[in-house]
Amino acid sequence: MNPSRRNRNAATCLVAMIGVGMFNGAARAQHLIDLAIGQSQGRIATGVFQVQGENVAPLLSQRVFIAEFGTFPNFTSTPGFDSLVGAFQGGSQIGFDIRRALRKWDGVSFPEGTGGIPPERLQIKLGPAANTRVTPTTDELVTGFSLAVSNSGNSVGEFHHHPGFTLLEPAADGLYLLELQLWSTQAGLGTSAPYWMVFSQNASEEDLHAAASWVRANIWHPVCPADLNNDGMVDDADFVPFVVAYNYLLCDPPGCPTDFNGDWMTDDADFSIFAVAYDALLCPE
Ligand SMILES: [Ca+2]
Ligand SMILES: [Ca+2]
């Protein structure tokens, strides 16, 4: 790799992105800790928002997210879902499915077998009573409910909703794993890959990060993590957001897409992994 070429190209790209001025970052700051969704490679993709100077960009390469109960006891509505304006067809619906039973962290792993299924179930709810779903007691798919993509005003094509997540009794302390997928009524738009939310019920941040990193390494197995915009290749469009994170050792909650080795920091170890992927350019099949 030629660093000067890379840096020059990346700088050009960054200037171009700022020039485009995708939207005003300050106005949207309240949504930055939401789960970012958008379209890539023909399907819904999940990720996080990254602040880039005056702008905010979705990095759609993240599939493990963290959340903490406690807004009210056993409850949170953060992260919600948000997308850029115009990301989806206005007036279409995006829904979710629960893919399997809830799992509980045993200090080392989220056990696969039925022994890893806790007595607790997790409820997802928004709006009318019909919009309530609870995790199954065995590994089966529970079809969720759908919510509207905006079709009015300055937000046409934006999907922004905050379902409530409630840990049901006995709601013991610990870490819980929820596996979901997102689907759309928009013609030709495919269902997302599975994604995971690790919920903390009074657990330490250290344990929450360790559990999320375990999911990344043992369930997700990302094959091309350096492809931050999820377009199938690692190029300058990925280098820009990587450097933004690298410059500040940042993670972008509720995930950390620029952390490639699972330590919840973006540093030299991740840079080395990025450089190898950048040289290869194309993601593995
Ligand atoms: Ca890319
Ligand atoms: Ca790292």
Q: What percent of the chain has pLDDT over 70?
A: 89
Segment (H or E) for 155: none
Indicate the SS3 state at residue 209: helix
How many angstroms separate the CA atoms of 53 and 19, rounded? 11
Which residue type occupies 23?
Answer: F
Ligand 2 mean position, distance from CA 262 (Å): 6
For residues 6 and 70, membership in a common domain is answered with: no
Ligand 2 mean position, distance from CA 230 (Å): 19
* 28 vs 113 pLDDT, higher one: 113
The pLDDT of 90-109, averaged and rounded, is 98
Ligand 2 mean position, distance from CA 269 (Å): 6
For residues 158 and 254, membership in a common domain is answered with: no
For residues 145 and 247, membership in a common domain is answered with: no
Q: What is the pLDDT of residue 105?
A: 98
Segment (H or E) for 57: strand 55-59
CB proximity list for 31: less than 8 A, separation 6 or greater: 49, 80, 82, 160
Ligand 1 mean position, distance from CA 197 (Å): 24
Of 181, 201, 221, the position where a domain reaches its end is: 221
Peptide bond into 170 cis (omega under 30): yes
Q: What is the pLDDT of residue 81?
A: 96
For residues 208 and 229, membership in a common domain is answered with: no
How many angstroms separate the CA atoms of 242 and 171, rounded? 38
For residues 109 and 35, membership in a common domain is answered with: no
User: Is residue 2 a part of any domain in this protein?
Assistant: yes
For residues 57 and 71, membership in a common domain is answered with: no
Specify the residue for token string 């940042």. 250
Please state the domain count of the chain: 2
Ligand nearest to the CA of 40: 1
Ligand 2 mean position, distance from CA 208 (Å): 16
Q: Which domain holds residue 259?
A: 1-42+53-62+225-279
Ligand nearest to the CA of 226: 1
List, for residues 229-277, the tens digit of each pLDDT value. Answer: 999 999 999 999 999 999 888 787 899 999 999 999 999 999 999 999 9
Ligand 2 mean position, distance from CA 254 (Å): 15
For residues 102 and 209, membership in a common domain is answered with: yes
| Least confident span in 26-35, 144-153, 195-204 | 26-35
The pLDDT of 136-148, averaged and rounded, is 98
For residues 22 and 114, membership in a common domain is answered with: no
Q: Which residues pair with 49 in a beta bridge?
A: 58
Ligand nearest to the CA of 224: 1
Q: Note whether 192 and 183 are within 8 A (CB).
A: yes
List, for residues 26-56, the tens digit of each pLDDT value. Answer: 444 446 789 999 999 999 999 999 988 888 9
For residues 112 and 240, membership in a common domain is answered with: no
Ligand 2 mean position, distance from CA 149 (Å): 34
Ligand 1 mean position, distance from CA 237 (Å): 6
The overall average pLDDT reported for the chain is 90
**DSSP code string of 74-129:** TEE--S-EE--TTSS-TT-EEEEEE-S--EE--SS---SSGGG--S--EEEE-SST
DSSP strand pairing (103-104 vs 64-68): unpaired
Return residues with CB closer than 5 A to ligand 1 (ion).
Answer: 227, 229, 231, 238
Write a three-state SS string for 216-263. HHHHHCCCCCCCCCCCCECCHHHHHHHHHHHHHCCCCCCCCCCCCCCC
Q: Which residues pair with 40 in a beta bridge?
A: 43
How many angstroms separate the CA atoms of 247 and 253, rounded? 16
Q: What is the pLDDT of residue 94?
A: 98
Q: Residue 9 — very low, low, confident or very high, per pLDDT cuts 50/70/90?
A: very low
pLDDT surpassing 80 at residue 12: no
For residues 264 and 210, membership in a common domain is answered with: no
Q: Which residues pair with 201 in a beta bridge?
A: 174
For residues 212 and 79, membership in a common domain is answered with: yes
Peptide bond into 254 cis (omega under 30): yes
pLDDT surpassing 80 at residue 6: no
Ligand 1 mean position, distance from CA 233 (Å): 4
Token pair belonging to 18: 């700022």
Q: Note whether 95 and 183 are within 8 A (CB).
A: yes
